[in-house]
Structure 1
Amino acid sequence: MTARAPRRVVVVGGGVAGLATAALLAAEGHEVDLLEKNDAPGGRAGSWEADGFRFDTGPSWWLMPAVFDHFFALLGTSTAEQLALRRLDPGYRVFFEGDDEPLDVAADRAGNRALFERVEPGAGQALEEYLESAQEVYDLAVQQFLYTSFDSAQAYAGRRVLAHGPRLLGLLSRSLESFVAARFSDRRLRQVLGYPAVFLGSSPDRAPAMYHLMSWLDLADGVRYPEGGFTVLVEAMADLARERGVRIHLGAAVTQVRTDPSSKGGLPLPGRRRAVARGVAYRTADGVHHTLDADVVVAAADLHHVETTMLPEHLRTFPQSWWDKAVSGPGAVLVMLGVRGELPQLAHHSLFFTRDWQANFDAIFEQPTRVPDPASIYVCKPSATDATVAPPGHENLFVLVPVPPDPGLGHGGLDGAGDPAIEAAADRAVAMVADWAGVPDLAERLVVRRTVGPGDFVTDLNAWSGGALGPAHTLRQSAFFRAGNTSKHVEGLYYAGSSTVPGIGVPMCLISAELILKRLRGDRSTGPLPEPAPSTAGRPVEAESA
């Protein structure tokens, strides 16, 4: 499929999806302007520095490396040219309520088979079979469901879909939790295999069993870390975009998608849109209002914010009534801690699972919602791998506490100055790490503390409901049930990012950008685009984590 005539494109939002979309379209020859309301690109993949510490404020798990490799290849470069990846060993450490010894998830498949067998006799072979299934479903997803906008019959009834139809129906009709429980008895192993649902903004009992494919990514393919943190990825993407001609405007908050009535006239008919995108209106940090003309607008910002604030009601594909029925992924309390002294008790990634984690999920997803107490939490210690993120003799901790997606919980702050519910959740998380990991003086060793709450996700990212991730991957919000990436009423208006297909996570955002490129090409294929001839750059070179 060859490129069409160059067009003027405005990309709204400078997160991963926006940067990726801008870079790919500019490389295609389009004239691209990217507008980001904040003073730095990155969106959820942000960064914060204080007193010699540098914290990633969003993504921290590097999974699905092939998606990154493919994205960079489309731009004529490689992951190895842009970043230095380290494979983590252990991949992550898991602490369980009531158990004295944590489990270290290994860096590879063989190590995890041995781990499972040690915990539960027979579970090693069960894991081998589980991962074989996970890999098969993952490969099917890549070729059939991830790199498609579901705009052709091939996406729904292609040869691969028909061949795997009964199996797919079975995986979609039961929960991940029940799928795991049918194969493993030990609570700890079940939690390890159920946790990937959280990456999808869901829970094991709410996510379809099809998402057991996620376990192949961490238990077999391994967990990596980009030296310097995820901010290095953002910087690389911004540089690649600029090198290809993208004009990045920071401090530029888009307030309106400008449209003209459709030139076709008459009443809307099937396939006929009511209006045509003509650009955007935006406000700069000095309060001055501007306009920017374009033939194509790609909204890579929060979809709810775009639809409900930038378009008149009659042009909204996803009006407020649509969102009233949708399910948000969880909110989050983020806690960034600079700690004096070393913390050998923690790995680069550590998970803390409560015994009754069903109560955790129900607190977040069921009405009335509440902040879980105790809460299962995630702790990242990038200083285990990267000496640049903390001063010598100190550790960098990033703690994530899942909470309801409720901006009413409030905002975070510095040194305990955030709203009471946010600081209380942070205090409990610090106490949990201190108790379970055996660091009784953790609170006394803090030299930096900053919290972020759901209210901040609204203020900083215009996040729907204050959610940390986007719409949850429930059955009704996955694959072709997820919000589509084109406006039904405005010709030339497209959507990218975690709110739309294919979904949540950095790799999905990269794929969403490729889907926009395919849309503008008129390419309805279901798999990844062909990559250009490889350059002299090789595959990513990975170092084993110390």
Structure 2
Amino acid sequence: MTRTVVIGGGIAGLATAALLAHEGHEVQLLEQRDHVGGRAGSLERDGFRWDTGPSWYLMPGVFDHFFNLLGTSTAEQLDLRTLSPAYRIFSEPNHDGVRPDPLTIPLGSDQVLETFESVEPGSSKELASYLVSARHTTEMAERFFLYNPFTKMQALLQPEVVRSLPKLAQLLLTPLDKYVSQRFQHPVLRQVLGYPAVFLGTSPSAAPAMYHLMSALDLGDGVQYPMGGFRALVERLEALAVDAGVRIHIGAEALKITTREATHPKKLGRFDGLNLPSGLTGKDSREVTGVKWRDSSGAEHYSVADLVVSGADLHHTETQLLGVRDRSYNKKYWQSRTSGPGAVLVMLGVKGSLPDLPHHSLFFTRDWEANFASIFGDDPSIPDPASIYVCKPSATDAGVAPQDHENLFVLVPIPADPSLGGGGADGSGDVMIERTADAAIDQISQWANIPDLRERVVARHTIGPADFARDYNSWRGGMLGPAHTLRQSAMFRAQNASKRVRGLYYAGATTAPGVGVPMCLISAELVLKRIRGDHSTGPITVRPVASRIG
């Protein structure tokens, strides 16, 4: 059996371990923390249970396909609920303190069209065309780009791709904000269509218009929620991995990926080496031999491996776990990369109900450009006020909060900078983090007309960039990974196999295809494709598994 070691027990690590064990590998998984899940974490205290990472369940087809690869189905693994409304927008009060009416995004594309028309007459026709384009782009992305290991140039020279090149070029070279502003006039509607760039780790002005496909997901398909939160997804991935034979070591810190000279170095093709930094030869002259790791007692171990998959942050893997001659990405490469945003996460337990907040809410500032300039500009600072995201899972799932209480998760995008500090329980975090949390609570209170919100908070916990850097070895303390700018998307993003070390692979949000839970699942499949020598552009063919539920 192929001996495989997977580093990191996040979504990508668990998914990769499960797929490879299902393939017949003998798999060990090393997770440095005392639980799996990675950035899809959870926190429990005082009867509350918060997801501390992903909270939007989008791209359901990716989940369906992944579970089918393991011989099961989404219906067997998760209890999904479709949210109605999808989410609500709260806009910044004007200079006189007058609050604009919130904009509710309903469930169903027909209802969304009506909502847009009520805000901007004539916009429903434009939105219908926009969503058709978004759906087509989503289909093209899934068939030719997201599942593509980019190992063969001819894989992209298919007639449908060639015919679409003019349109694809326009979508790649036009910024998302410009693409939206050419079609819609109302500032809030522009924000609704531009804000998904934040979930891709960038700003609407830096994201290619290709990513307008995101609007087909929340405006067209709707938003779902797995009961039990994303912790339920982590638990199911862990169970599937264990059932497939994966041995999971908790509290196991990877120290070094060991290598040796390869017996027969392989010269890479021009396209396979497309994302090589300058100065590298494109030759895997080394091969992996195993992983040194330390357990929670401090004892060191060595696991011999034929293959190693690192689901850890790519920068950490390359700069800390590999020797200099084994690195695919040099210092110059990292200096030229753009990080996604950092974040202040605020978990709140609130006494009483909050009926005006649905499951998902977005709070948008008027000065959109200034907000993103604070995060991504040359002189970064914490935005004030900030455009923030608020999740109230207790609107759907009574199990996440005590009776007569609400559960709030607040995300404030800020610059990726560990020096801004870390969080803690009940105001014990670093000054800048707690000050940002206070401002976010007051902002929600004022903009959503909840005047006594601060007084009703009975539990509070914060997380900041320093926590991301410490707990997840996150590059620059970012919450997501490298931003999805043009030069960090698709074949231009760091790929899933080492350019220097045979048998070493990469998975997760810091590699291809990108950030988000669905992308992490796809990255696991890309690793499987690389190992198999599968150069196909779309999902691996698998017979759908009929649900045994009902």
Would the TM-score normalized by the shorter structure come out above 0.5? yes
Whether the 8 Å contact between 1:274 and 1:490 is mirrored in structure 2 is yes
Match of 1:355 among 351, 366, 369: 366
Question: Equivalents in 2 of 1:137, 1:464: separation in Å?
Answer: 30
Match of 1:285 among 264, 276, 296: 296
Whether the 8 Å contact between 2:252 and 2:296 is mirrored in structure 1 is yes
AA partner of residue 118 (structure 2): R
Question: Equivalents in 2 of 1:72, 1:165: separation in Å?
Answer: 32
In structure 1, the residue matched to 2:228 is 228
Distance 1:130 1:296, change over 3 A: same
Question: Equivalents in 2 of 1:97, 1:139: separation in Å?
Answer: 36
Question: Equivalents in 2 of 1:266, 1:132: separation in Å?
Answer: 44
Q: CA deviation at 1:536?
A: 4.5
Question: Equivalents in 2 of 1:416, 1:467: separation in Å?
Answer: 22
In structure 1, the residue matched to 2:56 is 61
Match of 2:333 among 322, 326, 329: 322
Question: Does the alignment pair 1:22 with 2:17?
Answer: yes
Q: CA deviation at 1:154?
A: 3.3
Question: Does the alignment pair 1:201 with 2:195?
Answer: no
Whether the 8 Å contact between 1:458 and 1:464 is mirrored in structure 2 is yes
Question: Does the alignment pair 1:298 with 2:293?
Answer: no
- Residue by residue over 1:233-291, the C-alpha shift from the partner in whole angstroms, topping out at 9 and shown as x without a partner, is 00000000000000011100101001111223799996642211011001111111111
Question: Equivalents in 2 of 1:464, 1:258: separation in Å?
Answer: 22
Whether the 8 Å contact between 1:340 and 1:447 is mirrored in structure 2 is yes
In structure 1, the residue matched to 2:426 is 415
Question: Equivalents in 1 of 2:266, 2:365: separation in Å?
Answer: 59
Question: Equivalents in 2 of 1:323, 1:289: separation in Å?
Answer: 30
AA partner of residue 399 (structure 2): T
Question: Equivalents in 1 of 2:383, 2:133: separation in Å?
Answer: 33
Distance 1:129 1:200, change over 3 A: same
Q: In structure 2, the residue corresponding to 1:277 is in which secondary structure?
A: strand
Question: Equivalents in 2 of 1:172, 1:17: separation in Å?
Answer: 27
Question: Equivalents in 1 of 2:284, 2:73: separation in Å?
Answer: 39
- Residue by residue over 1:132-152, the C-alpha shift from the partner in whole angstroms, topping out at 9 and shown as x without a partner, is 000000000000000011111
Matches within 5 A, 1:505-544: 505-532=516-543, 534-537=545-548
Question: Does the alignment pair 1:45 with 2:40?
Answer: yes
Question: Equivalents in 2 of 1:11, 1:523: separation in Å?
Answer: 20
AA partner of residue 40 (structure 1): H
AA partner of residue 53 (structure 1): F
Question: Equivalents in 1 of 2:482, 2:547: separation in Å?
Answer: 40
Matches within 5 A, 1:79-118: 79-98=74-93, 99-118=99-118
Question: Does the alignment pair 1:458 with 2:451?
Answer: no
Q: CA deviation at 1:7?
A: 1.1
Matches within 5 A, 1:59-458: 59-98=54-93, 99-264=99-264, 272-458=283-469
- Residue by residue over 1:307-332, the C-alpha shift from the partner in whole angstroms, topping out at 9 and shown as x without a partner, is 00011112110123211110000000
Question: Equivalents in 2 of 1:320, 1:348: separation in Å?
Answer: 42
Whether the 8 Å contact between 2:423 and 2:464 is mirrored in structure 1 is yes
Whether the 8 Å contact between 1:348 and 1:383 is mirrored in structure 2 is yes
- Residue by residue over 1:464-501, the C-alpha shift from the partner in whole angstroms, topping out at 9 and shown as x without a partner, is 00000000000000011101111111100000001111
Q: CA deviation at 1:534?
A: 2.4
TM-score by length of 1: 0.96
Question: Equivalents in 2 of 1:154, 1:350: separation in Å?
Answer: 44
Whether the 8 Å contact between 1:76 and 1:535 is mirrored in structure 2 is no
Q: In structure 2, the residue corresponding to 1:286 is in which secondary structure?
A: coil
When structure 1 is superposed on structure 2, of 366-375 and 468-477 the one drifting more is: 366-375
Question: Equivalents in 1 of 2:159, 2:510: separation in Å?
Answer: 28
AA partner of residue 451 (structure 1): T
Q: In structure 2, the residue corresponding to 1:54 is in which secondary structure?
A: strand
Q: In structure 2, the residue corresponding to 1:486 is in which secondary structure?
A: coil
- Residue by residue over 1:62-83, the C-alpha shift from the partner in whole angstroms, topping out at 9 and shown as x without a partner, is 0000000000011011111011
Question: Equivalents in 2 of 1:536, 1:107: separation in Å?
Answer: 25
Question: Equivalents in 2 of 1:306, 1:78: separation in Å?
Answer: 32
Match of 1:489 among 474, 483, 500: 500
Question: Equivalents in 2 of 1:448, 1:460: separation in Å?
Answer: 22
Question: Equivalents in 2 of 1:336, 1:270: separation in Å?
Answer: 47
Distance 1:314 1:357, change over 3 A: same
Question: Equivalents in 2 of 1:399, 1:357: separation in Å?
Answer: 19
Q: In structure 2, the residue corresponding to 1:362 is in which secondary structure?
A: helix
Q: In structure 2, the residue corresponding to 1:242 is in which secondary structure?
A: helix
Q: In structure 1, the residue corresponding to 2:284 is in which secondary structure?
A: coil
Question: Equivalents in 2 of 1:491, 1:171: separation in Å?
Answer: 35
Q: In structure 2, the residue corresponding to 1:262 is in which secondary structure?
A: strand
Question: Equivalents in 2 of 1:230, 1:255: separation in Å?
Answer: 29
Whether the 8 Å contact between 2:266 and 2:284 is mirrored in structure 1 is no
Question: Equivalents in 2 of 1:417, 1:407: separation in Å?
Answer: 17
Whether the 8 Å contact between 1:144 and 1:160 is mirrored in structure 2 is no
Question: Equivalents in 2 of 1:355, 1:266: separation in Å?
Answer: 54
Whether the 8 Å contact between 2:156 and 2:537 is mirrored in structure 1 is no
Q: In structure 2, the residue corresponding to 1:447 is in which secondary structure?
A: strand
Question: Does the alignment pair 1:7 with 2:18?
Answer: no
Question: Equivalents in 1 of 2:265, 2:189: separation in Å?
Answer: 60
In structure 2, the residue matched to 1:3 is none
Q: In structure 2, the residue corresponding to 1:428 is in which secondary structure?
A: helix
Whether the 8 Å contact between 2:76 and 2:547 is mirrored in structure 1 is no
Question: Equivalents in 2 of 1:113, 1:83: separation in Å?
Answer: 30
AA partner of residue 234 (structure 1): V
Question: Equivalents in 1 of 2:281, 2:255: separation in Å?
Answer: 29
In structure 2, the residue matched to 1:544 is none
In structure 2, the gaps of 5 or more residues are 94-98, 269-279
Question: Equivalents in 1 of 2:69, 2:375: separation in Å?
Answer: 39
Question: Equivalents in 2 of 1:301, 1:531: separation in Å?
Answer: 28
AA partner of residue 301 (structure 2): H
Question: Equivalents in 1 of 2:32, 2:453: separation in Å?
Answer: 37
Q: Percent identity?
A: 58
Q: In structure 2, the residue corresponding to 1:258 is in which secondary structure?
A: strand
AA partner of residue 378 (structure 1): Y
Distance 1:230 1:533, change over 3 A: closer
Whether the 8 Å contact between 1:202 and 1:472 is mirrored in structure 2 is yes
Whether the 8 Å contact between 1:154 and 1:526 is mirrored in structure 2 is no
In structure 1, the residue matched to 2:273 is none
Question: Does the alignment pair 1:33 with 2:6?
Answer: no
Distance 1:27 1:430, change over 3 A: same
Distance 1:266 1:15, change over 3 A: closer
